[in-house]
Structure 1
Amino acid sequence: MGSANVDWKETAKGYVLKVDVPGFNKEEVKVAVEGGGILQISGERGDCEGGEEGTDKWHCMERSKGRFVWRLRMPENANLDEVEAAVENGVLTLTVP
Protein backbone atom coordinates (compact mmCIF):
# COMPACT_ATOMS: atom_id res chain seq x y z
CA MET A 1 0.00 0.00 0.00
CA GLY A 2 1.38 3.36 -0.99
CA SER A 3 0.63 6.98 -0.31
CA ALA A 4 -0.20 10.00 -2.43
CA ASN A 5 1.62 13.28 -2.98
CA VAL A 6 -0.55 16.07 -1.59
CA ASP A 7 -0.38 19.87 -1.56
CA TRP A 8 -2.67 21.52 0.99
CA LYS A 9 -3.32 25.24 1.33
CA GLU A 10 -5.73 27.49 3.17
CA THR A 11 -7.49 30.25 1.25
CA ALA A 12 -10.00 32.92 2.24
CA LYS A 13 -12.80 30.52 1.15
CA GLY A 14 -11.51 27.35 2.81
CA TYR A 15 -8.97 24.60 2.16
CA VAL A 16 -7.72 23.36 -1.20
CA LEU A 17 -5.95 20.02 -1.56
CA LYS A 18 -4.26 18.85 -4.75
CA VAL A 19 -3.44 15.16 -4.91
CA ASP A 20 -1.38 13.46 -7.64
CA VAL A 21 -3.38 10.54 -9.04
CA PRO A 22 -1.70 9.88 -12.41
CA GLY A 23 -3.46 7.29 -14.53
CA PHE A 24 -6.60 7.24 -12.36
CA ASN A 25 -9.99 8.40 -13.55
CA LYS A 26 -12.58 9.87 -11.22
CA GLU A 27 -14.34 6.52 -10.74
CA GLU A 28 -11.13 4.93 -9.42
CA VAL A 29 -10.46 7.55 -6.73
CA LYS A 30 -12.60 7.58 -3.59
CA VAL A 31 -12.99 10.48 -1.18
CA ALA A 32 -14.61 9.69 2.17
CA VAL A 33 -15.18 11.47 5.45
CA GLU A 34 -14.61 9.38 8.56
CA GLY A 35 -15.48 10.12 12.16
CA GLY A 36 -13.42 12.68 14.00
CA GLY A 37 -13.03 14.93 10.95
CA ILE A 38 -10.79 12.56 9.02
CA LEU A 39 -10.67 13.02 5.26
CA GLN A 40 -9.63 9.83 3.44
CA ILE A 41 -8.51 9.62 -0.19
CA SER A 42 -7.94 6.19 -1.70
CA GLY A 43 -7.56 4.49 -5.04
CA GLU A 44 -6.49 1.23 -6.57
CA ARG A 45 -4.75 0.36 -9.81
CA GLY A 46 -4.96 -3.22 -11.01
CA ASP A 47 -2.72 -5.21 -13.31
CA CYS A 48 -1.73 -3.78 -16.66
CA GLU A 49 -3.98 -4.78 -19.49
CA GLY A 50 -2.89 -7.92 -21.32
CA GLY A 51 -3.22 -8.71 -24.97
CA GLU A 52 -5.64 -10.99 -26.72
CA GLU A 53 -5.44 -14.41 -25.10
CA GLY A 54 -2.31 -13.27 -23.27
CA THR A 55 -0.24 -13.05 -26.47
CA ASP A 56 1.36 -9.67 -25.72
CA LYS A 57 4.91 -9.77 -24.42
CA TRP A 58 5.74 -7.10 -21.84
CA HIS A 59 9.24 -5.62 -22.00
CA CYS A 60 8.94 -3.17 -19.13
CA MET A 61 6.37 -2.67 -16.34
CA GLU A 62 7.38 0.21 -14.06
CA ARG A 63 4.03 1.81 -13.27
CA SER A 64 3.03 0.75 -9.82
CA LYS A 65 -0.10 -1.22 -9.12
CA GLY A 66 -1.93 -1.66 -5.88
CA ARG A 67 -3.78 0.55 -3.48
CA PHE A 68 -3.01 3.91 -1.94
CA VAL A 69 -4.67 5.50 1.08
CA TRP A 70 -4.09 8.98 2.45
CA ARG A 71 -5.75 10.30 5.61
CA LEU A 72 -5.78 13.76 7.09
CA ARG A 73 -7.46 15.13 10.19
CA MET A 74 -9.04 18.34 8.99
CA PRO A 75 -9.31 21.42 11.21
CA GLU A 76 -12.50 21.78 13.24
CA ASN A 77 -13.75 24.66 11.09
CA ALA A 78 -13.67 22.55 7.88
CA ASN A 79 -17.15 21.85 6.51
CA LEU A 80 -16.73 18.22 5.48
CA ASP A 81 -20.37 17.98 4.41
CA GLU A 82 -19.66 20.22 1.42
CA VAL A 83 -16.40 18.84 -0.02
CA GLU A 84 -16.11 19.36 -3.78
CA ALA A 85 -13.88 17.09 -5.85
CA ALA A 86 -12.64 17.09 -9.44
CA VAL A 87 -10.01 15.07 -11.34
CA GLU A 88 -8.20 16.67 -14.25
CA ASN A 89 -4.90 15.78 -15.91
CA GLY A 90 -3.99 13.30 -13.18
CA VAL A 91 -4.63 15.72 -10.32
CA LEU A 92 -7.48 15.40 -7.83
CA THR A 93 -8.52 18.81 -6.49
CA LEU A 94 -10.58 18.92 -3.28
CA THR A 95 -12.17 22.12 -2.06
CA VAL A 96 -13.29 22.12 1.57
CA PRO A 97 -15.19 25.22 2.74
Structure 2
Amino acid sequence: MTPMMRRNAAWLPSVFNDFFDTDFMPRANATAPAINVKESDKGYTVELAAPGMTKDDFNVHINDEGNLIIKMEQKNEKKEEDKSVRYLRREFSYTKYEQTLILPDDVKKDTISAKVENGVLTVELPKVVEEKVKVSRQIEIG
Protein backbone atom coordinates (compact mmCIF):
# COMPACT_ATOMS: atom_id res chain seq x y z
CA MET A 1 0.00 0.00 0.00
CA THR A 2 1.40 3.34 -1.02
CA PRO A 3 1.09 6.12 1.54
CA MET A 4 -1.09 8.91 0.27
CA MET A 5 0.21 12.41 0.58
CA ARG A 6 -2.17 14.68 2.34
CA ARG A 7 -2.75 17.85 0.37
CA ASN A 8 -2.71 21.13 2.14
CA ALA A 9 -5.21 23.33 0.30
CA ALA A 10 -3.81 26.52 1.81
CA TRP A 11 -0.33 26.39 0.27
CA LEU A 12 -1.37 27.37 -3.27
CA PRO A 13 -3.19 30.63 -2.44
CA SER A 14 -0.44 31.78 -0.09
CA VAL A 15 2.22 31.29 -2.76
CA PHE A 16 0.21 33.32 -5.23
CA ASN A 17 -0.60 35.97 -2.64
CA ASP A 18 3.08 36.40 -1.85
CA PHE A 19 3.89 36.66 -5.54
CA PHE A 20 1.08 38.89 -6.80
CA ASP A 21 0.17 41.01 -3.78
CA THR A 22 3.25 43.23 -3.73
CA ASP A 23 3.97 46.93 -4.19
CA PHE A 24 4.75 46.19 -7.83
CA MET A 25 1.41 44.47 -8.45
CA PRO A 26 -1.21 45.82 -6.05
CA ARG A 27 -4.66 44.31 -6.04
CA ALA A 28 -7.10 45.92 -8.42
CA ASN A 29 -10.24 47.40 -6.94
CA ALA A 30 -13.01 46.92 -9.47
CA THR A 31 -16.09 47.81 -7.49
CA ALA A 32 -18.82 50.17 -8.65
CA PRO A 33 -20.15 52.89 -6.39
CA ALA A 34 -23.34 52.16 -4.47
CA ILE A 35 -26.52 53.71 -5.86
CA ASN A 36 -29.78 54.38 -4.02
CA VAL A 37 -32.99 55.31 -5.85
CA LYS A 38 -35.88 56.68 -3.81
CA GLU A 39 -39.40 57.61 -4.91
CA SER A 40 -41.76 60.09 -3.30
CA ASP A 41 -44.96 61.78 -4.40
CA LYS A 42 -42.97 64.72 -5.78
CA GLY A 43 -40.21 62.84 -7.60
CA TYR A 44 -37.29 60.44 -7.58
CA THR A 45 -33.92 60.85 -5.88
CA VAL A 46 -30.78 59.09 -7.08
CA GLU A 47 -27.85 58.95 -4.63
CA LEU A 48 -24.42 57.75 -5.71
CA ALA A 49 -21.65 57.19 -3.15
CA ALA A 50 -18.48 58.96 -4.30
CA PRO A 51 -16.15 59.69 -1.38
CA GLY A 52 -13.41 62.17 -2.20
CA MET A 53 -15.04 63.32 -5.44
CA THR A 54 -15.97 66.91 -6.25
CA LYS A 55 -18.57 68.33 -8.60
CA ASP A 56 -15.86 68.79 -11.26
CA ASP A 57 -15.37 64.98 -11.33
CA PHE A 58 -18.97 64.39 -12.51
CA ASN A 59 -20.86 64.79 -15.76
CA VAL A 60 -24.62 64.31 -15.49
CA HIS A 61 -26.72 64.69 -18.63
CA ILE A 62 -29.67 63.35 -20.59
CA ASN A 63 -28.85 61.68 -23.90
CA ASP A 64 -30.81 61.78 -27.17
CA GLU A 65 -32.93 58.82 -26.08
CA GLY A 66 -34.03 60.55 -22.87
CA ASN A 67 -31.88 58.43 -20.53
CA LEU A 68 -29.98 59.88 -17.58
CA ILE A 69 -26.21 59.41 -17.92
CA ILE A 70 -24.00 59.73 -14.84
CA LYS A 71 -20.25 59.80 -15.52
CA MET A 72 -17.59 60.03 -12.86
CA GLU A 73 -13.89 60.41 -13.64
CA GLN A 74 -11.00 61.38 -11.39
CA LYS A 75 -7.32 61.49 -12.24
CA ASN A 76 -4.62 62.04 -9.64
CA GLU A 77 -0.93 62.25 -10.30
CA LYS A 78 1.56 62.78 -7.50
CA LYS A 79 5.21 63.46 -8.21
CA GLU A 80 7.91 63.44 -5.58
CA GLU A 81 11.53 64.15 -6.28
CA ASP A 82 14.39 63.45 -3.91
CA LYS A 83 17.33 65.40 -5.35
CA SER A 84 19.93 63.76 -3.11
CA VAL A 85 19.21 60.34 -4.61
CA ARG A 86 18.05 61.59 -8.00
CA TYR A 87 15.03 59.40 -7.84
CA LEU A 88 11.68 60.25 -9.40
CA ARG A 89 8.60 58.50 -8.05
CA ARG A 90 5.14 58.74 -9.59
CA GLU A 91 1.86 57.51 -8.28
CA PHE A 92 -1.13 57.41 -10.59
CA SER A 93 -4.70 57.05 -9.51
CA TYR A 94 -7.53 56.85 -12.02
CA THR A 95 -11.19 56.28 -11.33
CA LYS A 96 -13.83 56.09 -14.05
CA TYR A 97 -17.47 55.07 -13.79
CA GLU A 98 -20.50 55.45 -16.05
CA GLN A 99 -24.11 54.54 -15.37
CA THR A 100 -27.14 54.90 -17.64
CA LEU A 101 -30.56 55.11 -16.02
CA ILE A 102 -33.75 54.80 -18.04
CA LEU A 103 -36.04 57.52 -16.78
CA PRO A 104 -39.73 56.88 -16.13
CA ASP A 105 -42.23 58.72 -18.32
CA ASP A 106 -43.43 60.87 -15.41
CA VAL A 107 -40.07 62.65 -14.89
CA LYS A 108 -40.00 66.36 -15.73
CA LYS A 109 -36.68 66.30 -17.61
CA ASP A 110 -36.17 70.06 -17.87
CA THR A 111 -36.02 70.54 -14.07
CA ILE A 112 -33.57 67.76 -13.09
CA SER A 113 -30.92 69.00 -10.65
CA ALA A 114 -27.75 67.51 -9.15
CA LYS A 115 -25.38 68.32 -6.29
CA VAL A 116 -22.38 66.77 -4.54
CA GLU A 117 -22.25 66.96 -0.77
CA ASN A 118 -20.32 64.90 1.82
CA GLY A 119 -19.14 62.38 -0.78
CA VAL A 120 -22.61 61.73 -2.21
CA LEU A 121 -23.90 62.80 -5.64
CA THR A 122 -27.62 63.50 -5.36
CA VAL A 123 -29.73 63.82 -8.51
CA GLU A 124 -33.29 65.10 -8.05
CA LEU A 125 -35.78 63.95 -10.68
CA PRO A 126 -39.08 65.79 -10.14
CA LYS A 127 -42.28 64.21 -11.37
CA VAL A 128 -44.61 65.88 -13.83
CA VAL A 129 -47.44 67.37 -11.84
CA GLU A 130 -50.70 66.54 -13.47
CA GLU A 131 -53.23 69.16 -12.62
CA LYS A 132 -56.60 67.63 -12.08
CA VAL A 133 -59.01 69.81 -13.93
CA LYS A 134 -62.57 69.36 -12.84
CA VAL A 135 -64.82 69.44 -15.82
CA SER A 136 -68.06 70.80 -14.55
CA ARG A 137 -70.70 71.92 -17.01
CA GLN A 138 -74.35 71.80 -17.68
CA ILE A 139 -75.44 69.32 -20.32
CA GLU A 140 -78.43 70.35 -22.37
CA ILE A 141 -81.08 67.80 -23.00
CA GLY A 142 -82.21 67.87 -26.59
- TM class, shorter-chain normalised? 0.7 to 0.9
Query: What is the aligned partner in structure 2 of residue 25 from structure 1?
Result: 54
Indicate the larger mover: 48-57 or 36-45: 48-57
Query: What is the aligned partner in structure 2 of residue 7 from structure 1?
Result: 36
In the TM superposition, what are the counterparts of 1:33-72 in structure 2 within 5 Å? 33-52=62-81, 55=88, 65-72=94-101
Give the structure, 1 or 2, with the largest relative contact order (CA under 8 Å, sep 6 or more). Answer: 1
Query: What is the aligned partner in structure 2 of residue 88 from structure 1?
Result: 117
Asked which structure has the greater CA Rg, the reply is 2
Contact 1:37 1:76 in 2 (8 A): no
Q: CA distance change for structure 1 residues 85 and 57 in 2, over 3 Å: closer, same or farther?
A: closer
Structure 1: gaps spanning 5 or more residues: none
Contact 1:40 1:69 in 2 (8 A): yes
Looking at structure 1, the residues matched to 121 and 80 of structure 2 have their Cα atoms a distance apart, in angstroms, of: 30
Q: Which amino acid aligns with 1:19?
A: L
Q: Looking at secondary structure, tell me which structure has more strand per residue.
A: 1
Structure 2: gaps spanning 5 or more residues: 1-29, 127-142
Contact 2:77 2:90 in 1 (8 A): no
Report how far residue 65 of structure 1 moved: 2.0
Task: Tell me the secondary structure at the aligned position of residue 79 of structure 2.
Answer: coil
Kindly provide the CA deviation profile for residues 46-80 of structure 1, in whole angstroms up to 9, marking residues without a partner as x.
1342235775586xx8xx62311011001011112
Contact 1:2 1:69 in 2 (8 A): no
Kindly provide the CA deviation profile for residues 15-48 of structure 1, in whole angstroms up to 9, marking residues without a partner as x.
0010111211001111010122200000112134
Q: Which amino acid aligns with 2:109?
A: L
The percent identity for this pair of structures is: 29
RMSD: 2.6
Kindly provide the CA deviation profile for residues 71-95 of structure 1, in whole angstroms up to 9, marking residues without a partner as x.
1001011112111111011100111
Task: Tell me the secondary structure at the aligned position of residue 22 of structure 1.
Answer: coil
Task: Tell me the secondary structure at the aligned position of residue 27 of structure 1.
Answer: helix
Equivalenced residue count is 93
Provide runs of 4+ in structure 1 moved above 4 Å. Answer: 52-58
